[in-house]
Chain A
Amino acid sequence: MTTKIVTPKGAPAKAVVKDASMLKQKDMMAAHYDRLTSAPETGEKVASTFVPGNLNELIMCFDLVNNLPEVNAIQNGLRRTSGSFVLEAEKIGHSEDVCTYVKSDIGMMSKGNLAPNGKKFPDPDVLLLSYTGCFTFMKWFELLREQYKCETIMLHTPYMGDGKITPNMIQYMVKQLKEEVIPKLERVSGVKFDIDRLRQYLKQSVKAENDLVWVLQSAKNKPSPIDAYFGGIYYIGPIFGAFRGTEDAVDYYKFLREEVAERVAAGLGPVTPDGDMGKEKYRLVVEGPPNYTSFRQFWKMFYDEGAVVVASSYTKVGGVYDLGFRHDPDNPLETLAEYCLGVYTNRSLPMRIKMLADYIDEYEADGLLINSIKSCNSFSAGQLLMMREIEKKTGKPAAFVESDLVDPRYFSAANIKNRLESYFQMIEQKRASARAA
């Protein structure tokens, strides 16, 4: 089922096509923002935290509402308000060189701190600094702490530099959870920790994770029924955000799976903002986050050419489930530690290279595209080597484009389009050579 939505004034005039799961996801996000902005009236307490290393099940054990600054920055990018927020942050002393998520957030705070529903974000009661895979997160919450002067709880996740999770890492994290994170959350919330409640939420997480993996792996079909990057961003929203562990997430992923199963049965490709995609001509694996300020324009450059993304690393920043990890209700704290340790940007470069090369093989992709993000060193540093290594391992061509997360100054549509067109020609040439051989 698809629905046409007429976009508001100021946005492109053409109607945007969304499938039912996207609408359901949008409603969930809207409901969450309403809950969040109503916190001062309802008395609910708010925990700001991050997507990679998101401990949503634990947060729910303390009846806290989760607020994710990266998701807010993304919303501002999609609504094209992030540019002015970034400028505002630079005006008050933040460097032009640093992460634009941070600057969008800081700029938004100085310009009223309004949520997508137009209501003011509540001040957080606690900053849960459970970051993983990115140093910037640590600085980001030190900056927010300076502003809000509220309790800040650090959960340090060691990096998987040697490509493995060691018992020392798990013990370190579990001890932090037991002796630092949980007691402080109890103090802030006034709610006693109940490990059985956590187990119950984790059970729900597993159901949603199973369905999400099924959906992501449906891209192995030809044609792929989903776009696992642009479309994938809609699919990961609930589980990476405020819904992992909830009944709502279980329902959403069941619904999504059924929707995608129907597309597979009908032999359909992905739904794009302009409707069903035409013939699938190119299957790509994408590394790196997208650009959000020109999200639709960026996506259009792909589907206009018949290019579909069959697997992406960005849809693994809030959890790598397709390689087998599931939250384990029998070991609730250990599983939270393992989850944090395993997210994509906490994996060593050799692990990332292997993962992407395997995707190219398993999803029978034509090659790799890297969207390198100016303000995200965690993702970007090393990507040129990754590109070469993956080309070497798979024999498939790779291409490199550059943009930014939410800073519109760094999205050059003409440059990116040129590079993509050249890349598609390269794939055609490779195919022609293979046929001739």
Chain B
Amino acid sequence: MLPLGVLGGGDQLEVIHGDAYYQSYICRIPRSTIELGVSGRLDFVDGMLFPSICDVIRNLSGMWKMMFPHVYVRYFDVPQNYRDDIGGNYYVSELAELRDHLAELRGAPITDAELNASIALYNENRRLVRELYALRAEAPWQAPAPEVYLIIRAGMVLPVEEHSAMLRDYIAAAKAEDRPRRDNCRIVLTGAFCEQPPLNLIKSLELSGCYVVDDDLLLVTRWLTADVPTDGDPLRSLALAFLHQSESTAAKYEPNLAEKGQHLVRAVKRSGAEGVIFAAPSFCDPALLDRPMLQHVLKDAGIPFIAFKYAENSGQMQPIREQAGTFADSIKLWSGAA
């Protein structure tokens, strides 16, 4: 079974049918995803899993059930309670049900041994992604953000083993090549965990003077922050990894007020960033509702930030370039001035 990561239709897809399913005030990712479906581009897909990320994607799962009745569809709810014996047990049961459904889909049971072998492959993949992110944080001119994005994005459509090999090759090549270093500032990009910005936007940030040294793009590849054990009950191991070793993001409840937004402060420190750019898709409830709280935390920590919105098909980059360029200048000119 090949996992395929669907992240909308991007900026190259003309949405013709998808707009007829959504009001103007709803983000673009569901309408371009519908476009992929109704235009037959996903006809080879046997099942669609919808993560519990927001109400729009949640409702899209029901729409998919109605529109593509021959496809296996499941909305996958994750716990917002992080106790092993409460949220953990719930998650294990949900995973067990999903495993049964997927087994039915492929026509054979899925064994613990198979799951543990798969976890090992993904552990390796996540280690390589972390290594790539560490390399970029250390020397962003050697691994520019648009390249890193594309190499990670390739993992959405490749078998994990092939993607890991690609990552290894890229890391080696990026280290080997001597690339010019620009006088850019270093920023963390946040808010882009669902609908992806066009590649041009990421390029524009670097061209305007901002090295992206950490981000939440394609967060699924870094969702689990440490290796998952491969020698126990795999469902329990995955559940515990989600509860205790997964990234903070707007779709997850943060039970501890003091911890709210600290993941961003840590990302800034870890990557040696000088500021944060909030880039959220238009009409993205989780990112936009979270943003003021995160900004308060950054303000308290003395970390500068700017914010703008985008859509996956945003075409006009000039305003973003100007805003990011001004931000970069202000950091270069005024950081440490106080």
Q: Which residues of A contact B (CB under 8 A)?
A: 92-95, 97-99, 102, 129, 134-136, 138-140, 142-143, 145-146, 149, 152, 154, 156, 158-159, 161-162, 166, 168-169, 171-172, 175-176, 179-180, 348-350, 352-353, 372, 374-375, 377-378, 380-385, 389, 402
Contact = CB atoms under 8 A, between A and B. Distances in A.
Interface string B29-52: 010000000000000000000101
B75 A159 contact: yes
Contact of B26 (A94, A169, A179, A381): A381
A309 to B, nearest CB: 21
B77 A161 contact: yes
B289 A168 contact: no
A93 B77 contact: no
Best-surrounded residue of B25, B66, B67, B97 (most CB of chain A within 10 A): B25
B286 A135 contact: yes
A434 B22 CA distance: 32
Given A159-B52, A166-B97, A382-B63, 6 more contacts: A95-B289, A97-B25, A102-B289, A135-B55, A168-B93, A348-B61
Given A152-B257, A172-B79, A176-B86, A95 B288 contact: yes
Contacts of A129: 253
A234 B51 CA distance: 37
A377 B288 CA distance: 13
A139 B80 contact: no
B69 to A, nearest CB: 10
A345 to B, nearest CB: 8
Contact of B86 (A102, A134, A162, A172): A172
Interface stretch (B132-140, B222-230, B290-298, B313-321): B290-298
B22 A381 contact: yes
A389 B251 CA distance: 30
Interface of B is mostly: helix
Given A180-B86, A382-B60, A143 B22 contact: no
A138 B54 CA distance: 11
Nearest to A149: B257
Best-surrounded residue of B282, B289, B292 (most CB of chain A within 10 A): B289
A98 B289 CA distance: 7
B162 to A, nearest CB: 32
A374 B292 contact: no
B68 interface: no
Given A146-B257, A161-B74, A168 B94 contact: yes
A382 B81 contact: no
Interface in B70-101: 74-77, 79-81, 83, 85-87, 89-90, 93-94, 97
Contact of A142 (B22, B67, B81, B260): B260
A142 B253 contact: yes
B58 interface: yes
A383 B62 CA distance: 11
Given A145-B257, A161-B58, A349-B63, A139 B90 contact: no
A93 B295 contact: yes
Contacts of A353: 66
Contact of B23 (A146, A180, A402): A402
Contacts of B66: 349-350, 353, 385, 389
Nearest to B255: A154
Given A95-B291, A97-B25, A384-B20, A348 B257 contact: no
Nearest to A158: B77
Contacts of B59: 349, 377-378, 381-382
Nearest to A136: B285
Contact of A139 (B63, B81, B250): B250
A139 B286 contact: yes
B122 interface: no
A139 B86 contact: no
Best-surrounded residue of A146, A172, A350, A377 (most CB of chain B within 10 A): A377
Size band of the interface chain B makes with A = 35 or more
A358 B70 CA distance: 25
B260 to A, nearest CB: 7
Q: Which 5 A-B pairs have the closest CB atoms?
A: A349-B62, A161-B75, A139-B289, A172-B90, A156-B80
Nearest to B20: A384
Contacts of A158: 77, 90
B285 A139 contact: yes
B56 interface: yes
B309 to A, nearest CB: 8
A14 B308 CA distance: 46
Contacts of B284: 97
Interface string B93-115: 11001000000000000000000
B337 to A, nearest CB: 24
A145 B261 CA distance: 13
B282 to A, nearest CB: 6
A168 B89 CA distance: 9
Nearest to B56: A381
B255 A146 contact: no
28 contacts: A92-B292, A95-B309, A99-B285, A99-B289, A134-B55, A135-B54, A135-B285, A136-B289, A142-B290, A142-B293, A145-B257, A156-B81, A156-B253, A159-B58, A161-B61, A172-B79, A179-B83, A179-B85, A348-B62, A350-B65, A375-B25, A377-B54, A377-B59, A380-B25, A383-B23, A384-B20, A385-B21, A385-B66
B149 interface: no
A97 B253 contact: no
B170 interface: no
B26 A377 contact: yes
Interface in B249-306: 250-251, 253-255, 257, 260, 280, 282-286, 288-293, 295-296
Contact of A146 (B26, B56, B58, B260): B260
A389 B288 CA distance: 32
A349 B65 contact: yes
B23 A94 contact: no
B169 to A, nearest CB: 39
A372 B80 CA distance: 29
A343 B218 CA distance: 33
Contacts of A180: 81, 83, 86
A353 B62 CA distance: 10
Contact of A98 (B76, B85, B288): B288
B333 to A, nearest CB: 24
A378 B67 CA distance: 19
Given A146-B293, A152-B257, A349-B62, A384 B86 contact: no
Contacts of A383: 23
B280 to A, nearest CB: 8
